[in-house]
Structure formats: C-alpha cells, structure tokens
Amino acid sequence: MVSTLKNLAALIIDMDGVLWQDNEPLPGLIEFFELLRKRNIRFVLATNNASRTPEQFQDKLLGMGVSVTREEVLTSSQATALYLKDIAKPGASVFVIGEEGLKQPLREMGFEITTGSSDYVVCGMDRGLSWEKLAQATLNIRAGAKFLGTNPDTTYPTERGIVHGNGAVLAALKTASDVEPIIIGKPEPIMYQQAMLRLGTNKENTIALGDRLETDILGAKRAGIASIIVLTGISTCADLEKVDYQPEWVLEGLPEVIKALQS
Amino acid sequence: MVSTLKNLAALIIDMDGVLWQDNEPLPGLIEFFELLRKRNIRFVLATNNASRTPEQFQDKLLGMGVSVTREEVLTSSQATALYLKDIAKPGASVFVIGEEGLKQPLREMGFEITTGSSDYVVCGMDRGLSWEKLAQATLNIRAGAKFLGTNPDTTYPTERGIVHGNGAVLAALKTASDVEPIIIGKPEPIMYQQAMLRLGTNKENTIALGDRLETDILGAKRAGIASIIVLTGISTCADLEKVDYQPEWVLEGLPEVIKALQS
C-alpha cells in the first residue's frame, strides 16, 4: 500500500462530490488535471453512476474545461459488463433494468439484451422502471437467471431532493426472489481491481480519491489500496469518527490534494 | 378462544386457496355458504389482496353461484383506509401507490388523493408502478409523511408464474427512506380486529379460516382467535411442522369444514 504521495503512479478518482457538485465544478478542478498530466500520473475516473455513458461524462468534463479520454472513465455499468464477460458464455442473454449507460456496454461486450426470459438479470438505475420490468426480472431470477446489480446506493440525489437509488430496487428484487445480487459498484472492490488492470498499476502505487466513506473509502480498503478523502461531497469530518476504517489522508478539497501531490 | 365448533357465532374467511384456486371454485363452495346461511353463522371474507374492490370479489363469487353482501367483504385496502381514518385528520392528503381497489376506499373515507407532497404514503399492489411513483413516495416519506403498507406479501402468483408482491415494493421504499411501514394486512392482527368489530363478535366466538400459515393462521394467533387451516391452498401438512404456532383445526378442504360444523 502507498505510504507517501511521492511515488504515486496512478489515482482512481470518484467524480460527483470530488470534481463537481451537481453541475458546478469544484475549485481547483482544471489545475488538478493539469498537474496529473504534467506529472504523468495516470488516472481512471470511477463512478457508481450506472445511467450515463462514458461519453456523457467526457462531455460534462469538457464543459468544465477538462479533456479526458474514454479509457479514463469507468462507470459501474461498464464494470458490470466487463465482469459479466468474465463469467458468462459469449452471447448470453441479459434482461436489463437500466438505461443506455448500462445497455451500451453490455451490447459492446456482445451480450443479447432480451425482454423475456434470460441467463442473467442486470439491474441499474432506470427512470423507465415499471411493474412489468420488476415482474419479468423476478420471474427470470426465480427461474435461475444470475442476478447482478451495478451499484448498491440506496438513495439518489436529485434537484427535487433525495429519491430511491438502485439499492432500493435491488432490495425489492431480493425480497421477491430470495436471491442476493452480486454487486459490482463501490464499496465492492471489483471496480478498483478493474481500474488497476486498465492502468497497469497495482496496490503498491495506486491511490483512491473520493468523497464518500461508505463507498469510495470502504471500497479502497476492500481492494487493499490507500485512499484520500476530500470533504467537498457527502462525508464530513464528524462522519470519520463513526466508522472503524479510515482513509490514509483527509484533505479539504482539490486545492489541498494539489498541494499534497506537489510537496 | 373458541374450543369447539358448536357455539360458533362467526367466521373470518380467507378467499384465494380456500374458496377458489385462480378462477376455479373449490369443491364444497356452494354447500359451505348454504350451511353458513342456514345456521346463521355470520362471516367476513378477509383478503390481503389490495388491488380489487369489494364489488369485484362479490362479482367473482356470484359467477360461482354464491351471493354475498358488500359488508361481508373486507380487503386489506379497505382495512388500510379504515385504519387511516382512526389515526389521521379528516381530509388529510394521501400519496397512493395502488390501484382502484385502494383508491376507492380512501376516497370513501374522505381522504384527498394527491400526486405531490402528502401527509401519508400508502403503498399497495400497483401494476402501474413507475420510477416516478417510487421517487415521489420516497421524497414524501423522507419529508415526514407517515408510511403505510396494505399487505406484506413478498410474492404474487400470476398465470406467468410468481412475481414480486407488495412486500417487495415496501422493501424498496424502506431501503430508500430508512422508515419501516405500518403494515395492515395479515399476519398483522388489524384486519381480524376490524372484522370482529364489523361482525359484532369477539375472540370467544369467532374463528379464522385460511390456507396460509404465515398470514392467515399467524394473524389469527396475533389477534388471539382460534383458527382452521385447509390444505387446498398454499400451506401443506409438512409446513405445519416447520412453525412454532399451530391452528386449532387442520382440515382437508371445505367439505371437511362443512362436516365439522355439522357434527
């Protein structure tokens, strides 16, 4: 595990609450990416958000003055498709509760997306969720389809307030089928492991950077890598005292991360 | 509690699995109701099914040759509206996840059914369930609306197979809001208590008749009344050995119930 920020080869970075809040870039955003490019620190932007495509995140960052490649973005939907490619037969059928952000990577991996019975049921955020989709997913899981969830977030922040997240829909399907889903997103370690594989780095020279203790930081612990928490998002200083795991570094925001990387 | 079937004043009877299976009347149905009328044994047909109105159950029975009054039917939706009338201010606003079977009794009790913020959130089976309905329900509960569920059934049998029941949707809302719903349907004792109130009977002269251990029979235990299980529905003889509560009588089906009432 990394013990200083000196010989850092790569960062795995959460986006919402670290790089921006809703649609507002956080202070230091442009300087942060300039430093990463200058110091040749590789990175993957890893998010539990399952509804958007990598291109949509590229566009959002570009609108804030930061250019990243498609390879530098990893969504929990992509991670789910990648995981499924490892365990499933080529061309296996998948029943999807999810939006384009989930369907696109599954199609790219060669899976057949079906509306009937299926080998797999994959569930991510879906603003087109219906009784019928829940019913078909339940039928398929009860008939033996393997059950995967992109991410376990129980809530989802919107402009109207906090609504149900994908973890709530997973709870419904679990209750109806009596089957636990395999969950891909943070705090499971799978996304961090996939990001390191993509970066060609390892636990010894990679650090996680996030704003949420129970996903970003706990996921880093489970993946065996060091982590930095910034306090510009969900978790607060007070929250740190409530959990029995701790990030290696606690920093106010991106300007402090920049300073720490330069020192 | 009743110890013999001799001085019985009233029965509280489950319908699906006792009176019919899907759309097929079970043997002894007509004779059973003839005996109840002849012996002047009052009854309430009490069901966890929240999507249908009492009239729809009257129609179904009429199609099988049995005439019952509207007062002789009690759905978990009616029970929920009745319960709400006891605890809520007159004209309180209710956000409903549910069908006409739930909306009708709520309107009859004078509640205002709203699609926005509300004093109460009531959740029953709704084949028009959507992401938007779950989102609004979550917003309302998180803002302090009291949260009620018509019935806790985790699954629901359909012609296509077993799909998710209302309990699964309650699990989603509970996960998203961190609030436990007040549940009205069996095995909670509320419906049995309301049925006795309607019948003008008490624990000493009323018996429950059902086919499902974990709802009908457990609910009777909790309400403190004796119960008969018939084996024409969900529960089997083998299931009886798996639970630590027991019905007072185990009978094959309606013909055996008729015999027991006559002896």
Q: What tens digit of pLDDT does each residue of B119-143 get?
A: 999 999 999 999 999 999 999 999 9
Q: Is B176 on the interface with A (CB under 8 A)?
A: yes
What is the band of B159 on the pLDDT scale with cuts at 50, 70, 90? Answer: confident
pLDDT digits (tens, 9 = 90+) for B73-131: 999 999 999 999 999 999 999 999 999 999 999 999 999 999 999 999 999 999 999 99
- What ipTM was assigned to the predicted interfaces of this complex? 0.91
Residue-level pLDDT, tens digit, chain A, 263 residues: 777 887 799 999 999 999 999 889 999 999 999 999 999 999 999 999 999 999 999 999 999 999 999 999 999 999 999 999 999 999 999 999 999 999 999 999 999 999 999 999 999 999 999 999 999 999 999 999 999 999 999 999 888 999 999 999 999 999 999 999 999 999 999 999 999 999 999 999 999 999 999 999 999 999 999 999 999 998 999 999 999 999 999 999 999 999 999 98
Q: Same structural domain for residues B171 and B225?
A: no
Same domain, B154 and B245: no
How many structural domains compose chain B? 2
Q: Quote the minimal CA–CA distance from B156 to chain A in Å.
A: 9
Residue A59 resides in a domain? no
Chain position carrying tokens 């006792």? B18
- State yes or no: pLDDT of B22 exceeds 90: no
Q: Is B64 exposed, middle or buried (0-12, 13-18, 19+ CB in 10 A)?
A: middle
* Boundary-marking domain end, from A183, A206, A238: A183
CB of A139 within 8 Å of a chain B CB? The answer is yes
Given this model, what pLDDT does residue B117 score? Answer: 98
Query: Domain check: are B176 and B93 in the same one?
Result: yes
Domain end marker among A144, A160, A183: A183
* Residues A179 and A200 both lie in one domain: no
End-to-end CA distance of chain A: 19
pLDDT at position B206 over 80 = yes
In chain B, whose CA is at the least distance from the CA of A130? B130
At B24, which helix (H) or strand (E)?
Answer: strand B24-25
Residue B62 lies in a domain: no
What pLDDT is stored for residue A157 in this prediction? Answer: 86
Q: Pick from A128, A138, A163: which is nearest to B135 by CB?
A: A163
In angstroms, the CA B83 to CA A135 distance is 29
Q: What is the CATH number of the domain that holds B83?
A: 3.40.50.1000
Cβ(A167)–Cβ(A63) below 8 Å: no
Q: Sign of dihedral through CA atoms B54, B59, B63, B65? A: positive
Among B183, B214, B236, the domain-final residue is B183
Instruction: Give per-residue pLDDT as tens, A8-51.
Output: 999 999 999 999 998 899 999 999 999 999 999 999 999 999 99
| The pLDDT value given to residue A248 | 97
* Residue A249, domain member (yes or no): yes
**Residue A82 domain boundaries:** 77-183
Helix (H, G, I), strand (E, B) or coil at A257: helix
Query: Looking at the domain assignment, is residue A116 inside a domain?
Result: yes
Same domain, residue pair B82 and B179 = yes
Q: Within a domain: residue A81? A: yes
- Give me the residue from A134, A161, A172 closest to B142, CB to CB: A161
Look up B14 and say whether it is catalytic: yes
